[in-house]
Chains A and B, each alone.
Chain A
Amino acid sequence: MIRWTSRVKFLFLLPAVLWVLTFTIFPLGYSIYLSFHNVERQVVVSGREQVPVLDAAGNPVLRPDGKPRTRTEVQRELQTTFTWNQFANYARAFRDEQVWNAVRVTGTFVLVGVTTQILLGLALAWLFNRNIVARGFLRSIMILPIFATPIAIGYLFFTIFYEVGGPLSWTGVPWLSNPNWALTSVIIVDIWQWTPFCFLVFLAALQGIPDEMLESARLDTSSEWDLWRYVILPMLLPVIAIVLLLRLAEALKLFDIVATLTKGGPGIATQSYTYYAFNVGFKLNDFGYASAMAFLLLIVVMVIVTLFFRRLRQSYE
């Protein structure tokens, strides 16, 4: 009898575990450390030195008195200083109106976007589960948006939402120039990209329901609606929960589309949480504050994951 408990198992597992630990736990720990500090990066003068001036051929240029001409070279160094500032970054986040704006934008985006994607996904799964023509081909077309590069999509939709001469300009809607419409446009792009994902998963789950079960349910009711309400939807519920979890976790990170389609604008009307944190960190170089903001987002994501955790764990029995 083979023992599948040999210590060899650790040799199989450990490299991956160590890699992931190194490249996620370390950065996360460092991120927490930064979030309690005021991080300042500045270029400081670290020294001055007299160096001879050279001509084009590389020979020293001489002064009239025969000594080599010199110039002062200033040595600069990028210096990063960390100052412990307790909870100041976190307190600042709660007072920062831009943070609250970002929370509102991201919240609206997540609620409206994800809800629509799941409902539309269900409807499309129902549609494609019927005996329609060219189902495989149409299904393949629906896969395209999921894997299309989000950055490319952002710019592509910029050309589509373009208000003067774009293909949707006949509607007269201020797609990108009006704050509310701009957020709507961002949501539309996300719906375009991720409804197919919900649809694909639901369709797979739907086709996994045994035919006999549906046949016997059909004997009890002739109404398609009742069949869905009492038989199919309850069976899809675990799958819907997984899709919901994945979409929530993903949508909360909203960055690419905003960075390309609207650049957070007009004003800060579509500045998502991640986009704002990114700007604070990498445009304003305020690493401490950006880390605190990122960590707050991490807490929110962890709460959501925990809510779904039992469900998720069951899928890996």
Chain B
Amino acid sequence: MSEEAPRQDLVRRRSLADAWWSLVAIAVAMLFFFPIYWAVSTSLRRPADTFTVSGVGIPWVHFTPTLDNWLLEMSQPESFRAFTNSTVISLSAVTIALLLGLPAAYALARFKFFRVPNKDITVWFLSQRVLPPVATAVPFFIAFSTLELLDTRLALIVCTATFILPFVVVIVRQTFFDLPIELEEAALVDGASYLSAFLRVAVPLAMPAIAAAALIMFAFSWNEYLFAVILTIKGAATMPVHIAGGADTRGVQFWFVAVRSLIAMIPPVLLALLAQRYIVRGLTLGAVKG
């Protein structure tokens, strides 16, 4: 007993320390959450309350919340159009990236390439991500203006699909690689073609990773701004372009900024939360498995 006592003491002291560190962690999380909270709070205030709110602007405590800003913003056709554009463009880009990227990921995971080794091809795909977009922006602008495709969804879909393609290649390549190869080989022995081994065996098994890759790619397409602002004017303007345009022409009206920012942020953030398990792998381009 006498020997046990100090040890137990140590255990208790550690959990007390962890209680303190828990408080620190909660404080940190609150700090990181504050800007989003502030947007919610601002969006619920009457314009007159924007600067006069006391404290940290807790609804019902510091001011009477109203949904007017939300309703007004949502009744504007431009907002609706931007939201639709963003959705259509992101979905199409993700679809193209999946159609092209899944077979490539499979090829890199399963087949052996000799002239250029597999990992060099993988790294080559990744290098798209480090390319400064401004270096390809001018040629894209000139090309699409010559083709008279400026301010069309198609132009943006093509650009976006290109820059999200590496995500699907690296995220799903690793998943294909981790699948037991015997399943596909059994299918091949039974006379299946490589294509049906890929479509009927590998793809269904890799579905969670594919879905996660799609969600992450959707979020990135949604958030893209530089190409969107260059290639679209009005008709095909995406949410980020819509937010920036509104603030530039009317001055910064904080209550609308808050509503629009939240409308823009909610889809990618929610999707990312759904894909949590794959975020580390996705964001490090497959270099860290997580």
Contacts and interface: CB of A to CB of B under 8 A. Distances in A.
B104 A305 contact: no
Interface in B264-290: 264-265, 268-269, 271-273, 276, 279-280, 283-290
A212 interface: no
B33 A144 contact: yes
A278 B279 CA distance: 30
**Majority DSSP secondary structure for residues of A touching B:** helix
B14 to A, nearest CB: 8
Interface string B6-31: 00000000010011011011101100
Contacts of B268: 147-149
A150 B223 contact: yes
Interface string B207-234: 0000000000001001101100010000
A281 B111 contact: no
Contacts of B136: 23-24, 27-28, 31
Contacts of A38: none
A151 B125 CA distance: 27
Given A151-B243, A159-B258, A204-B290, A19 B165 contact: yes
Contacts of A281: 134, 137-138, 141
Interface in A276-302: 277-278, 281-282, 287, 290-291, 293-295, 297-298, 301
Contacts of B219: 147
Contacts, number: 305
A246 B114 CA distance: 28
B77 to A, nearest CB: 20
B38 interface: yes
A5 B188 CA distance: 14
Contact of B287 (A27, A148, A312): A312
B8 to A, nearest CB: 17
26 contacts: A2-B188, A5-B111, A12-B104, A12-B194, A13-B107, A13-B111, A16-B103, A16-B104, A19-B161, A23-B159, A31-B138, A127-B25, A138-B26, A144-B269, A147-B223, A158-B257, A159-B258, A253-B134, A260-B247, A274-B133, A290-B138, A294-B137, A298-B131, A298-B135, A313-B120, A313-B123
